[in-house]
Structure 1
Amino acid sequence: MGIIKQMPDFLANQIAAGEVVERPASVVKELVENAIDAESTQIIVELIEAGIQQIKVTDNGKGIIAEDLPMAFMAHATSKIYETTDLFNINSLGFRGEALASIGSVSKVRVESMTEDDDSRHFIEIEGSKIIEEGLTQAKIGTTVEVNSLFYNTPARLKHLKTIKTELSHSLKFIQKIALAYPNIRFKLTHNGQEIFASHGNDNLQQVIASVYQPALARDLIPIQSESDDFSINGFISKPTLTRTSKQYIHWIINGRSVKSYMLDEVLIKAYGRQLMIGRYPIAIIRIQLDPRLVDVNVHPTKQTVRLSKEDELSELITQAVHRTLDVVNPIPSLEESDLPNVNRNNTNYDPVQFNFTQKTPSTNNEPNRGQDTEPEAKLTDYKEQLQNALNNNGSNRSSSIGEPTEVNYQRSEPTNETIQTTDFDPSTTNKQPVEESKRYSLDFYSLRYVGQIHGTYLIAENETGFYLIDQHAAQERIRYEDLMNEEVDVSIQQQLLMPIIINFTTSEMEIISELEEQFEKLGLYLELMGPTSYKLESYPDWLYYEEVEGLVTDLVELLNKQPDLTVQELKERSIIMQSCRGAIKANHYLDDKQAIALIHGLDGLEDPYHCPHGRPVFVEFDQNTLEKLFKRIQDTHEKGVFR
């Protein structure tokens, strides 16, 4: 007798549920997408205990006729596709016919529905893939699906669910993403009877962005629109100065489907080019319309991954649209007050970190003066006076009790003998070699002769052995990092504010931030609840700059949400890395000779002047031998002899 047998439907459905229904948010996704396919204009999602106890989705769509209700819970039963060719022309969010069958196999489900042509509203109850009861109920056009006791018959899957807040955040993120894809639909999400998200449904994408994030952020975004013979794109993108530390704020919506695409992410980031700081990503909500035959959505059970035809054409369209959009807002950064140094006006020695000179004692032997290789001391003094005059009108970055700048004596600490390990945002890419390398190879930065600047981003300097390309952002980032790391941080020393700093968060961030308060307090950031989506700070630790507090808190929320177990020392270093990066010179900031020379000299004496805090190189060396090889002045030995 053969050993191969066909599985019963209830068992096959439970296996399929392992792919379709991972957590409550998976159920919310499938039910909401069905409601959208039913042409609903209002969808209400009600959760109890993050959906583990109950998920209820109510819509005002076309409804399901009574005879189709039992069929809807059969495996591979669907109203979306009927033939093989339909797979290549999918215009709906759902099409596989697995969702309701899978949900019905791992929960207790009740569905009520009524169409415009029905005289009454019908219901059906399913438990473990079996029909328990059918009948009539109160008339109301549309559909309501109530899912109770999720995973009641699969305890192993129930055991692996996360905390209530984590599971709720997954559902919230999905509702926010789908609201961005369908601004013409009014969405409402409640948890244990309390509304936590709502959109207007008036087809205004910018208003939905304001609901998902914050009104101030939505106002700062700029519209983007373009089209070709095959593609049409529209939406909003951020200015290069408005960025985040992760890609999760980049939303791609293809034919109404919110998808993830590494390829499209890279196209967008490349289109911004050098206008983005290292480790920062834009905010973007971009909707793409195309012929369904050009996109394959049948790639992954979640349908969040797609394959696109004519990728090159789409990439070019996006790139050109981003360039045109950014050109309108003139994103080329200029040297602003916040980028300029804090100057101690009573000190005659100027800190190289802040583009100022610290004069070195001239050598008594035949070695040239190290202030500059070719110019006399009088010229150096003149440089200092000019630089002082240029900076005298700029305020400090520190803040007084009423939030106004005040003057602070900010001097670099002497390097310690401790080994500083530079840490990237991703622990797997942590660079632990810079200090050892700096001990093997030491460069005298005061012996370098400044040549010039290219592209407003890289400095050129030379000595007798070759020349160097120096990344000005990475250089000052390293200087700032070591300054702050060498300072003794006492979080109890606070700058008191008369007017508190108000920091707004997204709804999803508010769901998790209460769990992070203890970590923030270890850094001297005492957040107090201000409103439904905001916190306030009455003071901030003295080691921070006033204008960087809000950005740092926002970045730390993202960081701590990913890595909640960071130690105080790790938190301190990560926050210092963020602060040093944010305050460093940006690309396309053109420096004059005095500022460039001072920046190069500021690298002298650092523990590791060769890498930024993220582990990337500060400069690249081109020695004489390399140059001669590049220009073929030195030829390799060939078999038939040596040619020079």
Structure 2
Amino acid sequence: MPQIHVLPKEVSELIAAGEVIERPASIVKELIENSIDAGATIITVEIQHGGIRFIRITDNGCGIHPSDAPTAFLRHATSKVKNARDLDEIGTLGFRGEALASIAAVARVEMMTKTAGEELGTYVKIEGSELQEVRETGCPLGSTITIRDIFYNVPARLKFLKKDVTEGNAVASIVDKIALSHPEISVKLIRDNKVAFHTPGDSKLISAVYTIFGREFAQNMLPVDYELNGIKVTGLTGKPMFHRANRSMQHFFINGRYTKTRTCGIAAEEGYRGAMMVGKFPACVLELQMPFDQVDVNVHPAKIEVRFVNEKAVFDAVYFAVKSAVADHGTLVRKETAVSDKLPELQGKRGASVSKQTMGIQKEAFRTNAPLTGNGPLDVASPFRSEAVPAVQETISISPADQWLPKKPKSINIDVEPDPDDFVPPPVTDARAVFELHSCDEGEEFVPQKSPETKPEKTTETATVLHDNRGGQEAPQTAAPMQVIGELFGTYILAQMGDEFVMIDKHAAHERILYNKLKENNGELDKQLLLSPVTVTLSRQEHETVMERLDLFQKVGFLVEDFGGLTVILRSVPAVAEPERAKEMFLEITASLLQNRKTEFPELIEDILHRIACRGAVKAHDQNSRVELEELVKIICRDENVRYCPHGRPVMIRYTRKEIEKLFGRIV
């Protein structure tokens, strides 16, 4: 039977340190939280080589008394918790008393600290938990802690650290969140002797967001200020049209502490239901203020995970806070042009009689998710309606926001080259002629007719083999005239080929055609330079992924350059892509790469080609001319590879004349 013995101090401290210190970012997080608890208003973070070789945190907090400076590096030594009752209402970011002890166990540490009542400060040097030196020194008010050579005495942990760039991005991500959670503190990050960012510390969240994420991100945020059941939710949330391909831009803070909480994330996304595309995710920076005894932060050594006493109350507070912000953004009557504020002027200019009570009902309808009824200009379908509001007899003419207006139809050209010898194209004025279906007796050939003004065009192209999607067999090769009848629901092409009726999903068909073309060059795609380069703001993880995969993006047609901070600039896009959709396509590819970082290069190329083909293909409800539809059908007939889209959906469904006649009871 093995003998039980007590571990040596140096071994036990290394084991305990491994729970708190995983990488340089863990050290930065712990030390910044100590600075905030010390009342600092200015914090500077300096790192070199990703923080592996060098980290320095400087603050102007209260400092540590000379007699307490050596004690601070002992395990479970803290000034924030005195008894068990204090753990029920933790109001500070740090409380375990493990951070400094864990850092000192795996690195070389130096600290200079000075309190307001002392003329000189205190210098402490410690390596591998062993105190090396304590003496007086001159230093400013506050604390400066320098860490060198992380895991110098734990080579097994050192080899698991990633590249300097990756570790540096992890540190920057932590500093980002600290700056966002405490906009009243001026936070500066210096990375390899270059200032990455410097927040003003003016207590305005929008200032911190602008500094970290850039102008575009800040301009697309909506203010949030809501309170429910003793939980106050403040911050910023994205406009519905400013959606993301993943959740990397969702940030939640509980009483000033950054947390990973699925409850808040789901609540925020539910607040956008009906106002955001399915499969897209909102961006947000939300702070929850709640009683300390209603949240337990003593769950994990890293203190990122929390538990709520009443999870439903938290969900409801976030949900209604976000939904109210989105609803206010969708209100047609803006506060600055509210009718109730300018009633006499509007009556004089518009000649309409509108009472303040009536306009109050209208504004309240949008705020309480109720619809507006009646035939006035404010009768707009709202995704938040639940109850009816009495109609108003007279209203005034108000210009709605652009996003409420219906999109103008546009013609989409399919990326195919028609052969002039195959058919004679109709006149341009007749490209979208309406076809009328006429009944026919049994045995007569079904012939679609055009309107009386023009004679129907008919081609003599012969169709080749079509796969039978019902049984997987091939129909015999017959000479059958191809004829496009029209479209169904703006999505499906209706065509007659001999004695068969075919329905074709035009998006799936065009997507497969584009995908086949992209595959011809082994994934090397032609580029189209953008007349006006596009800037894209990314999260830290997304930015790191893009910088690591610049060669991959260039291979598929994207010329990407680092634009500073978290912004990149797109100078070219794949030739098959529409320039106005380039940004959305780029973000989708980035999200896919971030999710599948360990996937092999060929598989990544395959996934990217799928996405490019999907985005570049004609969409359902796009308006296409008869020439485009006919040419698409001809390619399908000629190319046996166009039978399924890259995602596996069928391109066409076929019915024989016999099957149709059975359905109508003409034959048994």
- With structure 2 as the length reference, what TM-score do the two structures score? 0.69
Contact kept, 8 Å, 1:237 with 1:285, in 2: the verdict is yes
Partner of 1:517: 550
Partner letter of residue 540 of structure 1?
V
Letter paired with 1:571: I
Q: Is the 8 A contact 1:179 1:208 kept in 2?
A: yes
1:529 Cα offset (Å): 5.0
3-state secondary structure, aligned to 1:277:
coil
What is the match of residue 159 of structure 1?
159
**Could you say which residue in structure 1 is the equivalent of 2:335?**
none
Query: What does the per-residue CA deviation read over 1:455-487, in whole Å, with 9 as the maximum and x for residues that have no partner?
Result: xxx99xxxxxxxxxxxxxxx8864663353244
| d(CA) in 2 for partners of 1:339, 1:299 | 55
For residue 605 of structure 2, the aligned residue among 563, 571, 576 is 571
- Whole-angstrom CA distance in 1 between matches of 2:237 and 2:443: 54
How do 1:470-619 and structure 2 match up within 5 A?
478=508, 481-488=511-518, 491=524, 493-505=526-538, 510=543, 513-529=546-562, 534-561=567-594, 562-563=596-597, 565-567=599-601, 570-571=604-605, 573-574=607-608, 576-577=610-611, 580=614
After superposition, what is the alpha-carbon deviation per residue over 1:25-83, rounded to whole angstroms, capped at 9, x for unaligned? 11111111111111111111111211111111110001110111111111111111111
Distance change (3 Å), C-alpha of 1:610 and 1:522: closer
Matched with 1:65 is 65
1:207 and 1:75, CA in 2 relative to 1: closer, same or farther beyond 3 A?
Answer: same
Give the CA deviation at 1:515: 2.8
| Matched residue SS, 2:586 | helix
Structure 2: 5+ residue stretches without partners = 331-382, 384-402, 457-462, 475-482, 493-504, 652-668
Question: Using the alignment, how far apart are the partners of 1:239 and 1:368 within structure 2?
Answer: 58
Shift in Å at residue 288 of structure 1? 0.4
Closer/same/farther in 2, CA of residues 486 and 339 from structure 1, 3 Å limit: farther
> Which amino acid in structure 2 is aligned with residue 341 of structure 1?
I
> For structure 1, which segment, 190-199 or 508-517, has the greater mean C-alpha deviation from structure 2 after superposition?
508-517
The answer (yes or no) to whether the contact 2:223–2:235 under 8 Å persists in 1 is: yes
Matches within 5 A, 1:72-471: 72-330=72-330, 335-337=406-408, 341-342=412-413, 366=442, 377-378=449-450
Q: 1:14 to 1:582 in 2, by over 3 A?
A: farther
Aligned partner of residue 150 in structure 1, secondary structure:
coil
Letter in 2 for 1:574: I
Deviations 1:302-351 (A, max 9, x none): 1111111222122222222222222222287664248763489999989x
SS of aligned partner of 2:187: strand
Residues 10, 224 of structure 1: alpha-carbon distance in 2 compared, 3 angstrom cutoff: same
| Aligned positions, number | 538
Deviation sequence 1:374-430 (CA, Å, 0-9, x none): xx8457999x9xxxxxxxxxxxxxxxxxxxxxxxxxxxxx9999xxxxxxxxxxxxx
Change in Cα spacing, 1:503 to 1:272, as seen in structure 2 (3 Å) is closer
Q: Distance in 2 between matches of 1:608 and 1:80?
A: 69
Alpha carbons of structure 1 residues 136 and 416: separation in structure 2 relative to 1, 3 Å: farther
Would the alpha carbon gap of residues 95 and 366 (structure 1) be closer, same or farther in structure 2, given more than 3 Å must change? farther
Decide which moves more: 127-136 or 235-244.
Answer: 235-244
Q: Is the Cα contact below 8 Å between 1:42 and 1:187 reproduced in 2? A: yes
State the partner residue of 1:429. none
Matched residue of 1:161: which SS? coil
SS of residue paired to 1:482: helix
Q: Distance in 1 between matches of 2:473 and 2:579?
A: 38
SS of equivalent to 2:69: helix
Larger radius of gyration: 2
> Which range moves more in the overlay, 58-67 or 258-267?
258-267
Q: Distance in 2 between matches of 1:43 and 1:415?
A: 73
Distance 1:534 1:173, change over 3 A: closer
The CA deviation at 1:553 is 2.5
Deviation track 1:270-323 (CA, whole Å, cap 9, x = no partner) reads: 221243333321101111000010001111111111111222122222222222
Q: Contact 1:267 / 1:319 at 8 angstroms: preserved in 2?
A: yes
| TM score, norm. by length of structure 1 | 0.71
CA contact (8 A) 1:111 1:125 kept: yes
Identity of aligned residues (%): 29
Change in Cα spacing, 1:415 to 1:550, as seen in structure 2 (3 Å) is farther
The 1:12/1:573 distance shift into structure 2, 3 A limit, reads closer
Structure 2 distance, partners of 1:511, 1:103, is 26
CA distance in structure 2 between the aligned counterparts of 1:16 and 1:220, rounded to whole angstroms:
44
Change (3 A) 1:519 1:67: same
Contact 1:109 1:147 in 2 (8 A): yes
Alpha-carbon distance in structure 1 between the residues aligned to 2:647 and 2:37: 46
For residues 66 and 214 of structure 2, the distance between their equivalents in structure 1, rounded to whole angstroms, comes to 43
Q: Which amino acid aligns with 2:71?
A: M
Q: CA deviation at 1:366?
A: 4.5
C-alpha separation in 2, matches of 1:380 and 1:284: 58
**C-alpha distance in 1, partners of 2:87/2:291?**
13
Distance, in Å, in 2 between the alignment partners of 1:291 and 1:277 is 35
Distance verdict in 2 for CA 1:616–1:551, change over 3 Å = same
Once the 2 structures are TM-superposed, how far is the Cα of residue 550 of structure 1 from its aligned partner?
2.4
8 Å contact kept, 2:527–2:558: no
Q: Tell me how far 1:137 sits from its aligned partner.
A: 1.1
Whole-angstrom CA distance in 1 between matches of 2:163 and 2:640: 43
* Residue 246 of structure 1, CA deviation: 1.4
Secondary structure at the aligned position of 1:33 is classed as helix
CA contact (8 A) 2:435 2:449 kept: no
- Does residue 18 of the first structure (1) align with residue 18 of the second (2)? yes
Contact 2:229 2:313 in 1 (8 A): no
Q: Report the secondary structure of 2:147's partner residue.
A: strand
CA distance in 1, matches of 2:298, 2:444: 70
Residue type matched to 2:588 in 1?
Answer: D
* TM-fit CA distance, 1:150: 0.8
Query: Structure 1 residues 477, 541: CA separation in 2 closer, same or farther (over 3 Å shift)?
Result: same
Match of 2:400 in 1: none
For the residue of structure 2 that corresponds to 1:116, the secondary structure is coil
For residues 604 and 107 of structure 2, what CA distance do their matches in structure 1 show? 43
**Structure 1, residues 508-532: CA drift from partner, whole Å, max 9, x if none?**
6555544322111111222345556
Structure 1 residues 566 and 89 mapped into 2: Cα distance closer, same or farther (>3 Å)? same
Q: Does the Cα contact within 8 Å between 2:184 and 2:204 map onto a contact in 1?
A: yes
Q: Distance in 2 between matches of 1:306 and 1:556?
A: 32
1:420 aligns with none
Residue 281 of structure 2 aligns to which amino acid in structure 1? Y
State how far apart, in whole Å, the 1-side matches of 2:465 and 2:565 are.
45
In the aligned structure 1, how far is the partner of 2:321 from the partner of 2:443? 56
Label 1:328 to 1:436 Cα distance change in 2 as closer, same or farther (>3 A). farther
